Structure formats: structure tokens, C-alpha cells
Structure 1
């Protein structure tokens, strides 16, 4: 009998909010060919020649604003999720990060040391993207071949439109908005360059990044991050019976000068403030764990922009983190995998 185990994988974090550790982390992250997908020489010139000489101090300052006594919020929250999930399933549950010291190799080794040779890999991202799910799956397979050749890995596919996930997300949003008055609910997703969308188009022709392609059925949607983001917004809107015009989608965290997915979150917040919106709420469904992009970029910088533009109340909705319903859903998917070795999500 094969022994089964689970590997949760999230993004990662610097070891500390000090510039030297942030520089090390950014170097690994931004040199990933699926994050900055240009030829190596150009990526090295940009990252090592420019970004790592200018950005670490500013990023370290941002990390210090949100760093907890226990450590990086993303790491702490991911560990809490792992611990609660372990209580729900009978299989070993390990945790790894795509970048940083909590490597995928260490996570697989932890499982191998317990005799595991059937691994359910769970990238902690609802939507598929080159820079998130794909880079995790590819690296996990490379590590498996090099160090754990007898191990079999099956990954959880993108679950952005899984009805039970939508229900958990919608209920979480509703819970955190209960009793709060808001005029606009903004769904902010992490941005990616437009070229990533075209590169992920398995039809090589469908994704035009216009007002129609994401709404027109296509096999391309299986790997289209843009479509999957808009679909989460639509499905949650339907689930919560949100009024048309009271909610919208935007994309945050762009880097460089190439076109990234629009509309941009910071400009959307600015526009809403200028247009007279006084009370807004914002949720970040591309993340399952709160991190720098949610706690600082949105909850701090976003709120500052809104207030500068005349807005009054700015409500940030936490990620699912270690929410009980989210833990229960992950446990259900794991148990389904263990019994059928297939996943319906």
C-alpha cells in the first residue's frame, strides 16, 4: 500500500524584514523565469542590475509595517492553516514555500521521511497563473525527479469556480461586511503582465484581453488567469446577490513598464474617491493568506489613497487564512483525492 501525504505550497517570504533578507528573497523571486518571463540576460540586467539595487530598502520598510512578533504574516497564517488541516485529515500535511528557506524540497523530504510516496500537491492559489501555480507544479516535478524518483505527485487544479469554494469565499465576505455600510465592493487581484495571459492561451488565438474573450466560452479559460479572476467576481456577486454597479474587479502590484492587467487597483480606488464614493470595501481573492500585498499595499496604501481622494470609510476584508470553513473544504478535497485519486474541482 502506498502511503499518502499532502504538501501545501504558498508563495514565501523573506527571513526577516531587514534589507539584506528582503534582497535575497526578491532576487530568488524575480529571477524566476515564470515571474519575469524574458531572456535570462534581460532578466538578470533588470533584477540584478536595477531592482536589487533600488527596491530592497523600500520593500523592507513595507515589510516592517506588517511584520508580526511571530514572524512573516504569510508564513504564520500558512502554518496555522497547516496545523488546523492536520487535525482534520489522517495523512501527513507538510508546508512549503516556492521562494525562501521553506523549500519544496524540504517539504517533500518531510513527507518522504514519514514514508509518503503519494503526494497531493496543493498550490494555495484559487486561479491558475504562470507566476503562481505553474511555477510551483514545474519545480515540484523537477525536485521529484532529482531527489524522490519513487514518489508520485498529483496537484489540485485551479478551484476558482468550484461551487463550494465560492460559497466559502462569499460567506467570509458576508461575515466581515455584516453590519457595515458600503457603496462599492472592489475585488482586487494580483496583477500579471498581459503577455502572461497570451502565453497561457492553449488555443494560441482566443485571448485578446478585450471586453469579450473572457466572457466567450473557450478551452483557453482553463489556464486564463484574467478570465478566472473575473469569474470569481461574477460568481461571488451572484452568490451574495450584489446589485449591478455595486462591485467591480481590479488588479494590483504591477512592476516595470510593460502593460499589465487593467484596471489597476490604485487608480480604481483613486477614481472611486474622486467620483464621490465615501464608503468602500475591498477583498483580495487571488490570495488565501494575508501578506504584504494585502496588509500593506491594500489595507495601508489603498486606504491612504482613498482618504486623500475624499473617501471616508475603507473596509478591508481578510483572506480566508485559517477560516474553519476553508479548512473543512480543503480537508474534503484531500479526502476525495485519497479515496478516488481524482479531484472534481
Structure 2
């Protein structure tokens, strides 16, 4: 049966502070770290730690890190996400809007933007290739919350993941090949994924399976064997065990294995952001070179590349 409802696309990313200031970072981190999907500790235990210790100490430090990567038009995550919206809308015959799980523009704002253009059916595309309860499911929770305030609900379709989509793998491989052509090829390609607590995977989160399969598919597409490509997890937080191997610890070990020239990429991130531009490109480079590495080369996220936008168009279509 033909669907005559006017469709629109909501691209969703995690979010970012409005400014690179301690106050704006504190507000953003407060919202982000308050989500039970992100930190599922008992509230009476977690809230005093969050508001009494973590936010006062971390906010000024994180604000300085944001200042080091901030672009003329704002946070890299927001700038690249808005470029994706613009390019995808140019390729599709339907409205496209942006919503963030935390911060601005909110999910509610994104939905209302589409509905104000007559959209009755929203195709929701969370920009997380690999599913995790900490990210993708948090988008679903946020949508439910946003829908509660709307007088009329749109119908919607939710794209849960796309880690194994051939066009996504081909886009990743194309970005690696382009990087090799411009910068030369290293001894080893490391795929660094954002980590989650190991406990969540033990409880059934399928995220590590998706990360492993992404790496395997990319290796096959590039024709690399297990001595030429590997994967790790970054950005751990707190004292509990997270998914291993850890990116920082691996970077200390690679030069001892004779890997002196490293190419590194972040396939779980749709756009460059603090975790890629500051943590990987700066901190990780320092760790690798101090451990005896000779050349560290970061391969940018897919951002608003044509292959990436073509993949989004196919997913939506």
C-alpha cells in the first residue's frame, strides 16, 4: 500500500555544550551524566557524587579541552552535524532536521521543525553505526519524552544501527585509502571505538559485537590481515572495568611489537568531536610517540563526506 504521508528525516547525535565555558560544559555534562542509560547507578548514591564532586572538578578541565578544538561556528560536533543536514536535504526530496539527545538543538526542537514543514512521518536516524543502550536507546527514550509534550504525534521509523551496511563500510574504507594516498601508509591501522562499562556488555548490550564486526568488515574491504589492523576502546571514565583492550594501553604496547608508524581512526563516531580531535589526535599521539612510536596519523571521521551522505540517503530511502 502506498504511503502518502509527507516524510522527513531527523538526524540525531549525542550533543555538545553551547559554549566552551565551564558553566555551559557543567550544564551539558549535568544533563548527559544524569541519564540512567549513561550512568545506571542508584540515584541517591550517584547524584551527590555528580553534583558535589564530578561537575565542579571536571567542568573547568573539560571546558579547556573544548576550547582547544572549538571552531569559528561552534563545537565541531554541531558544525559537522549541521553540514550533514544541509547536504542530506539537498540529496533527498524531503525536509531534514537535527536533534541532540542532550543540549541544543533538542530532539523536541528537531521534531517540531519537521512538523512545522508538514511532516507526518519522521524517519529517525541516530548517527551511531553500532547500537548501544548508552547511545541509541537513549535517543528512543528522548523521543518518548519529547512526544509527551506534542498535541499530535507523528508516526516514525527508527533506524537502529548500520554498522554492517555495505555503503558505510565502503565509506570508511574510502576514507582510509584517501588518507593513505595523501599521507602515506602506516604499519598498522587501529580502530578506536568509544568504550562502555564491561558490566553493560555482560548484561546484554550488543555494542562490542557490532564494533568487532565493523572491524572485520573493514579489514575485508581493505584486504588487511590481523597483523595489519586491530581494535580498541577509548574514553573510559570512573573506576570500574570497561571494554578491553583499552586504546591508551595498546598505544604503549604497539612500538614494542615493532609498529612504529600508526594510522588510527574512530569508526563509532559519525563526526569529529572532542573525543576524536582532542583525545585521539592529541592525547593518544603523545602516548604513542612517548612509547617509542615514530609516526602517528589520525584519519578523520566521515563527517560530511559525499560517501557518508550517500550512505545516509540509502538508509533513509
Deviation, structure 1 residue 90 = 0.9
Count of matched residue pairs: 313
Alpha-carbon distance between aligned partners in 2 of 1:22 and 1:274, rounded to the nearest angstrom:
38
Deviation, structure 1 residue 171 = 1.5
Structure 2: give runs of 5+ residues left out of the alignment.
Answer: none
Are the aligned partners of 1:12 and 1:99 in contact in 2 as well (CA < 8 Å)?
Answer: yes
Deviation, structure 1 residue 73 = 0.4
User: 1:166-315 counterparts in 2 under 5 A?
Assistant: 166-178=169-181, 180-199=184-203, 201=204, 224-315=206-297
Alpha-carbon distance between aligned partners in 2 of 1:144 and 1:154, rounded to the nearest angstrom:
14
User: TM-score of the superposition, structure 2-length normalised?
Assistant: 0.96
Are the aligned partners of 2:185 and 2:263 in contact in 1 as well (CA < 8 Å)?
Answer: no
The residue number in structure 1 matching 2:82 is 79
SS at match of 1:319: coil
User: TM-score of the superposition, structure 1-length normalised?
Assistant: 0.88
Alpha-carbon distance between aligned partners in 2 of 1:113 and 1:70, rounded to the nearest angstrom:
26
Alpha-carbon distance between aligned partners in 2 of 1:79 and 1:136, rounded to the nearest angstrom:
18
SS at match of 2:135: helix
Structure 1: give runs of 5+ residues left out of the alignment.
Answer: 202-222, 336-345
**Residue in structure 2 matching 1:34, options 18, 34, 37:** 37
Does 2:303 align with 1:321? yes
SS at match of 1:146: coil
Are the aligned partners of 1:4 and 1:119 in contact in 2 as well (CA < 8 Å)?
Answer: yes
Alpha-carbon distance between aligned partners in 2 of 1:239 and 1:88, rounded to the nearest angstrom:
26
SS at match of 1:14: coil
Q: Which moved more, 1:127-136 or 1:43-52?
A: 43-52
Deviation, structure 1 residue 101 = 2.2
SS at match of 2:311: helix
**Residue in structure 1 matching 2:134, options 128, 131, 136:** 131
Deviation, structure 1 residue 131 = 1.3
What does the per-residue CA deviation read over 1:27-51, in whole Å, with 9 as the maximum and x for residues that have no partner?
A: 1111111000112112212211211
Are the aligned partners of 1:276 and 1:310 in contact in 2 as well (CA < 8 Å)?
Answer: no
Does 2:89 align with 1:90? no
Alpha-carbon distance between aligned partners in 2 of 1:143 and 1:117, rounded to the nearest angstrom:
16
**Residue in structure 1 matching 2:118, options 115, 119, 125:** 115
Deviation, structure 1 residue 167 = 1.4
Tell me how large the CA RMSD over aligned residues is: 1.3
SS at match of 2:125: strand
The residue number in structure 1 matching 2:60 is 57
SS at match of 2:134: helix
Does 2:140 align with 1:147? no
Deviation, structure 1 residue 168 = 1.6
Deviation, structure 1 residue 127 = 0.5
Alpha-carbon distance between aligned partners in 2 of 1:97 and 1:148, rounded to the nearest angstrom:
21
Alpha-carbon distance between aligned partners in 2 of 1:254 and 1:51, rounded to the nearest angstrom:
15
